[in-house]
Structure formats: structure tokens, C-alpha cells
Amino acid sequence: MGIGLRARWTALHGVPRAFMAIRARRGDPFARLIANHGQGEDPYPVMEQLRARGPLGRSPFVWVSIDHGVCREILRDRRFGVTAPTDMELPWPLGAVLARTDPKVANPVEPPAMVVMNPPDHTRYRQLVAQSFTPRAIEALETRVDEVTAELIDRLDAIARPDLIADYAAQLPVAMIAEILGLPAGAHAQLLEWGRCGAPLLDIGIGWKSYRQAIDGLRGMDGFLGEHFDRMRADKAGDNPFSRLSGDATLTDRELTANAALLVGAGFETTVNLIGNGIALLLRHPQQLALLRDDPGLWPGAVEEILRFESPVQMTARTPNCDVEIAGQHVRAGETVVLLLGGANRDPRVFTDPAAFDITRANAREHLAFASGVHACVGAALARIEGATALRALFQAYPELDLTETPRRRGLVNLFGYTRLPARLRSRRAAPAQ
């Protein structure tokens, strides 16, 4: 399978990687955005070059939009659907390679993961997964978010120089996803590692080493989740939606594990970025942090502004199922439109002074960080709760917190966050009386 996997990488990533590198050297801004992701380049100046080209522009092989109105319209337009990388219209040799080299693992960015499925299959998967995110389920999870956050704050006391990504930001969302899937606390470290390995799969043109590590990680997660659901099925234990799904044969084994793997990636990686980005932003903007200390009621709005200002997920793509006229352009059926959500969230026609970080921004919630339409993030409510709770608790407990190193980005195009946030906590403030 080693040769086959290398061929698959070549078709999915190697050829696009080489092409983007050539286009980037020729000055194409979209190619620069993709090709320079590993070099820590600030993406927003490049996005503004794309904005200057109009609401919907053409790059080789794809359309690109950074316009908030166009992105929102396409996300909500039922004529547009998602297209998995493996289902794109590729030249015959590349398509033939993909058809013959399926590693047959539960991949969160390939079918049958619901993020790359269209109705009616997407509707069926989403209705089942959404059982974990009903108002009643969110209410119960909110209590656990408070409890786990308090435990994590206590643990930080014992760490002289914590990394606020590994020791804090990552720990809360992985604990919540484990609870949703019915996994024990002992699985947290392994889930974190699988999430780290799999994150690059959401990018275009990743390197061979990253791709191989990602697939190896997916194989491990696939086997682990398969055994976990087999045990659930045999024991008939647990009263969460995934325990019921494992026992009622509503989904095939691959459908079940693929959508569970999607929750590990989408449900935890994005929230890690939300919390980590929030820590770094508030430390860079002490006046904004002071407002939150004076009025804790501002925290929900602060989370919306963090999501707008540094979107944890920077882009997505849609494909029309028929010819479409949009923003004065004729988009043919089957052509890919890349939507730069991070740039749309800085559209000056929607957000006044969009490059300013302002937690009191009245319309911050109009961001597209969770997408929109039928593919809007199913766990958005939980992510908002986790972000507000984790950030509020951290800055309340450690008002003199600061970072000991300049934060470094992850080097990914799509998942926008930090690799590490080494910190000095200083003294802890006693928790306020209830």
C-alpha cells in the first residue's frame, strides 16, 4: 500500500502543490496563500489583494471569493453543494489513481463524512449526529464544560511554565468530544495526537510526510473507534446518541466511524484554535481584556469577535450542480468556488474598521466562521460555550498571565491557530464567591 499511498498523495496533493508553487512565483495571490502557508506568512494582506480583484474572481481551475455577501449567498444556495477532493473533476490519470488507491479508512474529509456529503445523505447523517447537540444535550454538556474547566485551572497550578495550547486549550474540547462519543478519559491523549496528525488533510498541497502521518493516524483512529463501537454494541451500555447509533444499525460501520472521526477533527481542532487565538489576541490587546474584567457580561460578544477576527477555519469550497450567474460571473456546473471565510469576516462593507479587534462590535456575530446554510457547524453552540468558559476562567484565575515566547502559527492554511503558547501564570486569584 506504500506505493499506492504515495500515488494517491501525488494525485491529491503533490500535483496541486507543484502547480501552486509555480503560480505563486508568478504572483498569483491565491496560489501564494496556499503555497506559503508553512512559512508563517500573515494571510490577510494576501487576501486583500484578492478582494481588490472583485467579489468573485478567477484563479486557475477555481473561482475564489473573499466577499462576505457572495460567500454567505453561496453557502445558503441549494444549487451549490460540497465536493470531496476525491470527487473533483480531475484529469483522467489523476482520477484513475484516486479510484484505485482508496486506503479504506474513516477519513473526516472524504465520504461518508457528512462534511463532504450533500442531501439527502448529508441530511440523514446530520440529523443523527445532531442528537448530540440538542438544547437538552448542550445544557448537560455546559455543566461538564464548567466542571472540566475548573479541573484544568487547578492542574495549571502545578505546572511552572505551562503551554496553554497543550495544557489547557486542547484539553477542554477533547474532553467534551470524548464524552459525546462515550470514550474514557484515558483516550484523550490519543485523540489529541490523531487530531494533530489529521489536521493537515483540510489543506491543499500538503507534503508527503504530513500526508503519510495523517493516514497512519487515521488508520489508528479507525481501528480504535471501530473497537469502541463494537464494545458499545455488545455491552448495550451508555445513553448518548453514539451508543444508540452503534447498536441500531442505522449507519454502517464506516459511516459511523467516519462521522465520529469528523467530530474529533471539526469538534475539537477548531475549538482549540478558538481558545488559543483568544488567549493571544487578548494579551495583545490589554485594553480589550480590561473591558472584560470590568464587565464579564461581554464575554459572549468577545468570543464572536475572536471568531470573526481570526477564524479557526479559514476557507471552504462549494460546487454548483447547474450553471449559475453570481456576482456578475457565469459559473458552470461542476466548477469549484473557494470561499475564503477568514477574509469574508474582514469585509469592510459589513464590518467597520475590520482590521481592528473590538470585543464590543455590535455585529460581530454576522461572521461566517461556522459557515452557514445546511452545512453550518452542528456544534457551534457548544464551541461558543467552551470558548467563553475557558477564556473567562483563565483570565479570572491568572490576571497577571503573560506569554514567555512569541506565539508561532501552526503552518496550516485552513485551520488557523497556534502550535504552542508557553506562558508564565504568576499568582492565582481566588475564585469569586458563588
Beta-strand ranges (E) seen in 186-333 are 315-320, 324-326, 329-331
In a domain, 348, yes or no: yes
Structural contact between residues 339 and 314, judged by C-beta atoms closer than 8 angstroms: no
Q: Which long-range contacts (CB under 8 A, 24 or more apart) does 416-419 make?
A: 416/43, 416/273, 416/277, 416/310, 416/311, 416/312, 416/313, 416/314, 416/342, 417/165, 417/272, 417/273, 417/276, 417/277, 417/312, 418/165, 418/273, 418/276, 418/277, 418/280, 419/165
> Does residue 334 belong to any structural domain of this protein?
yes
Burial (CB < 10 A; 0-12, 13-18, 19+), residue 216, is: middle
Residue 8 lies inside a defined structural domain of this protein: no
Rounded to whole angstroms, the Cα distance separating 138 from 328 reads 42
Please tell me the predicted confidence (pLDDT) of residue 145: 97
Structural domain that includes position 384: 55-91+102-424
Which grid cell sits at 305? 469577535
Instruction: Name residue 178's amino acid.
Output: A
Sign of CA dihedral 324, 328, 331, 332: positive
**pLDDT of 217-273, one tens digit each?**
999 999 999 999 988 888 776 667 888 888 787 888 889 999 998 888 777 888 999
* DSSP-derived 3-state class of residue 340: strand
26 is a domain residue: no
User: Do the beta carbons of residue 298 and residue 191 sit within 8 Å?
Assistant: no
Q: Which of 261, 309, 318 is nearest to 281 (CA)?
A: 309
User: Cβ atoms within 10 A of the Cβ of 156, count?
Assistant: 18
pLDDT of residue 39: 62
- Low-confidence spans in the chain with pLDDT less than 50: 433-434
C-alpha cell, 211: 500526508
Residue 90 has what pLDDT?
A: 67
For position 204, what pLDDT does the model report? 87
Q: What number of other Cβ atoms are within 10 A of residue 299's Cβ?
A: 17
| pLDDT of the residue at 96 | 80
CA distance 364 to 216: 39
Q: pLDDT digits over 51-78, tens only?
A: 999 999 998 889 999 999 999 999 999 9
Residue 30 counted as domain residue: no
Domain presence at residue 46: no
Please list, in sequence order, all residues whose beta carbon lies within 8 angstroms of the beta carbon of residue 426, skipping any fewer than 6 positions away: 398, 400, 401, 402
Q: Tell me whether residue 383 is in a domain.
A: yes
How far, in Å, CA of 82 to CA of 119, rounded?
10
Q: What domain count does the chain have?
A: 1
Tell me the C-alpha distance between 310 and 75, whole Å.
Answer: 20
Report pLDDT for 69: 98
For residue 424, list its beta bridge partners: 402
Instruction: Answer yes or no: are the C-beta atoms of 180 and 421 closer than 8 Å.
Output: no
- Give the per-residue pLDDT at 433: 47
* Domain membership flag for residue 6: no
CATH of the domain at 301: 1.10.630.10
Per-residue pLDDT at 235:
79
Rounded to an integer, what distance in angstroms lies between the CA atom of residue 196 and that of residue 59? 30
Full-model pTM? 0.95
